[in-house]
Amino acid sequence: MKLEIKPKLIIHGGAGSSLQGKGGLIAVRNALRKIVDSVYSQLLMGINATEAVVKGCQMLEDEPRFNAGTGSVLQSDGQIRMSAAIMDGNMGRFSGVINVSRIKNPITMAQFLQTSSDRVLSDYGAAELARELQFPIYNPLTDLRLQEWIAERQDNFQKTMAGVVAEPEMAEAGSAGRGTIGVVVLDGYGKLAVGTSTGGKGFERIGRVSDSAMPAGNYANKFAAVSCTGIGEDIIDECLAAKVVVRVTDGMTLATAMEKSFIEANNNHRDFGAIAIDSNGNISYGKTCEVLLSAYHDGNNIGDTLEWHNQELTGNR
């Protein structure tokens, strides 16, 4: 099918308090840009927004640097439990899994649930579905995440969250962060979709539910699509993704909706970031924390936000 418009794409690999190690910055930049390049090429070949979201999320989940899929952080009991959601903006349909274990790509389960009558499944139900679908048993644990957890356990869980990027030099630098991955797409047919996936905050209580599989952290309709990263409790309290989408639906520009929402969030001392695209192809990103690990393709060029540290709460392409 011939493309009607230029596709747009933005992805994130989390938001954090620092990205100091030069090696770390370059490695994260290369990882994000490679994924943008690959997904954008496929959008140009005609895949639709939801397919592009799934492909992008799978690649981000498979990159052990980021806290989703392989490389997920461990919870207080030393187990990995992952959450992921997809929203197809054109259909206005949300689906997701909460606290699923022992699979490679939680986003693939969220995709399967798009056509199910029960569209959000948690732990036992998600495990049963994974067995029904014959997903191979997979252990997403990496040595680095295990080392982080052991070090934190020795310290009696003093941190409120795990590192956003699994990077030895960053762990040494004491970098803490808010890891999640997300993909927002406007495809060549003018359709929007969004996907978000996470290993959670790290060190959290068993049963804690992430924003990533809620409309607060992952939401889209025909007008706009938004994926969030950061402290899930803050994202839920602001209902950030749904709020931005509703504001755009009611007539605000995406840039204004993001700016207003991030001013409110900053006033409320929230700690997070978000990426967004509207149906006109405008790309927007925002953060109340120091760093947003995000890269985009604006139809002409690939860019990223890794060195965006200025005072502005939001940026637009």
Question: Which positions are catalytic?
Answer: 180
CA angle, 127 then 95 then 123, to 5°: 25
Instruction: Measure CA 251 to chain center.
Output: 26
Which amino acid type is present at position 75?
Q
Q: How far is the CB of 298 from ligand GLY (least distance, A)?
A: 25
Is there binding between residue 90 and ligand GLY (CB under 6 A)? no
Is there binding between residue 180 and ligand GLY (CB under 6 A)? yes
Q: How far is the CB of 244 from ligand GLY (least distance, A)?
A: 16
Task: Return the residue of 55, 81, 191, 201 that touches ligand GLY, per CB under 6 A.
Answer: 201
Stretch that binds ligand GLY, among 22-30, 100-108, 134-142, 205-213 (CB under 6 A): 205-213
Site string for ligand GLY, 211-250 (x = CB under 6 A): xx----------------xxxx--x---------------
Task: Return the residue of 64, 200, 215, 286 that touches ligand GLY, per CB under 6 A.
Answer: 200
How many residues line the site for ligand GLY (CB under 6 A)? Answer: 12
Handedness of CA 227, 232, 235, 238 (dihedral sign): positive
Beta strands in 119-191 (DSSP E): 120-122, 177-178, 181-186
Backbone torsions φ then ψ of 210, nearest 5 degrees: -80, 155
Q: How far is the CB of 84 from ligand GLY (least distance, A)?
A: 11
Stretch that binds ligand GLY, among 46-54, 85-93, 207-215, 296-304 (CB under 6 A): 207-215
Measured between alpha carbons, how far is 29 from 258 in angstroms, rounded to an integer? 24
Q: Which is nearer to ligand GLY, 23 or 207 (CB)?
A: 207
Residue showing the smallest CB distance to ligand GLY in the complex: 232
Stretch that binds ligand GLY, among 52-60, 140-148, 208-216, 284-292 (CB under 6 A): 208-216
- The residues near 119 (Cβ < 8 Å, ≥ 6 apart) are 93, 94, 95, 96, 113
Is there binding between residue 198 and ligand GLY (CB under 6 A)? yes
Instruction: Measure CA 14 to chain center.
Output: 7
| Distances, alpha carbon 221 to alpha carbons 79, 93, 203, 249, in Å | 34, 8, 33, 8
If one counts every other C-beta atom within 10 angstroms of the C-beta of residue 69, the result is 29
Q: Which is nearer to ligand GLY, 200 or 315 (CB)?
A: 200
User: What residues line the site for ligand GLY (CB under 6 A)?
Assistant: 180, 198, 200-201, 210-212, 229-232, 235
